[in-house]
Structure 1
Amino acid sequence: MGMTNEEIIAPDARFSSARASSRAAKPGPVIDQEGREIPQSSLRGGFRQFQFDFAHSSANPFGDLTQEQRLARFEALAKLLDIAFMLPGTKIRYGVDGVIRLIPIVGDVLATAFSLWLVREARALGAPWHVTARMLGNVAVDGVVGLVPLAGDAFDVLFRANMRNVRLLRRWLDKQPR
């Protein structure tokens, strides 16, 4: 038979007293990665000195970045999505986007989401509405035609919406005064 609500909420006193007495015993030594014991005197402050601040670290890809760093990340992601690999024996380049889109429906949604995130990054870089509208048009064409089972995947490899969006953003940034 299963446990009653009372047994779940207030377990048997025998077990809880055994746990309490084991907790009351002196804790074992703290050992570092090399197997050396760390003296208790150095642990008085706890582990508060071991804090990480990823928000202001260079290891955080979503932290505060300069415009050049954002643009470099934008271009790197677009290249990864569209032209990262080469089909052996040919000069046809494809990216992660083309591989993801081979998964029916879910792959198309994920690839379109990545492309839309890049458009959002372009907007964060200061791209005006007419540039982002053209970028959204590229993503829409890529997403809608990509829904067609095999022809859409071939179209995606050849259309390269993310690289087109990089060129649009680059062209707009080159026209801006420094």
Structure 2
Amino acid sequence: MRVSPDQFEKIARSLPEIGRDPASVRKRIETMEALLERGFTMPGINRQFGLDAIIGLIPVLGDVITTAMGAWIVWEARNLGMSKFQITRMAANVGVDSLLGLVPFVGDAFDFFFRSNTKNMKIIKRHLDKHHPSTVVIDG
């Protein structure tokens, strides 16, 4: 089915707007980080873990998926105008997580303890707090 330019414009206007402002980006990144790193709690030891540890159990494909999700966080940070040094540090965090995640069993345990997305979120928050102070959220 072919969509005319008028139909396309009508569909595009009906979709919700994805904010490109720093506050919207911060909210999206915080949500993704929470989903990847803190979505669930292990009973008995009260240790939080997320989809990064669960999806990483799938050999190779799981690591590709979690790497893509971590890379998305780095891409969003790049769109915030963060420095090349910060982006490189964040990419290195994702890279280390990805490479060690490929090692069977060791990588799965590593995903449980090394939280690359949380480390990257801290880098992004420091940048946003300094350069976009209006995005600061007080946790209560």
- TM-score by length of structure 2 reads 0.81
Hey, what's the Cα distance between the residues in 1 that align with 2:64 and 2:88? Answer: 19
**1:140-166 C-alpha deviation (Å, 9 max, x unpaired):** 110111111112111111111001100
1:128 alignment counterpart: 83
Higher helix proportion: 2
- TM-score by length of structure 1 reads 0.65
1:73 alignment counterpart: 28
Aligned residue type for 1:107: G
Whether the 8 Å CA contact 2:40–2:48 is kept in 1: the answer is yes
Q: Does 1:101 align with 2:62?
A: no
**1:8-27 C-alpha deviation (Å, 9 max, x unpaired):** xxxxxxxxxxxxxxxxxxxx
Larger Rg belongs to: 1
SS in 1 for 2:94: helix
**1:44-71 C-alpha deviation (Å, 9 max, x unpaired):** xxxx7xx4335x743x5xx343210111
Hey, what's the Cα distance between the residues in 1 that align with 2:132 and 2:73? Answer: 23
The equivalent position to 2:43 in structure 1, one of 84, 88, 91, is 88
Q: Which runs of 4+ in 1 moved over 4 A?
A: none
SS in 1 for 2:86: helix
Aligned residue type for 1:90: I
The equivalent position to 2:12 in structure 1, one of 53, 56, 72, is 53
Higher relative contact order (CA 8 A, sep 6+): 2
Identity %: 38
In structure 1, the gaps of 5 or more residues are: 1-47
Hey, what's the Cα distance between the residues in 2 that align with 1:112 and 1:53? Answer: 30
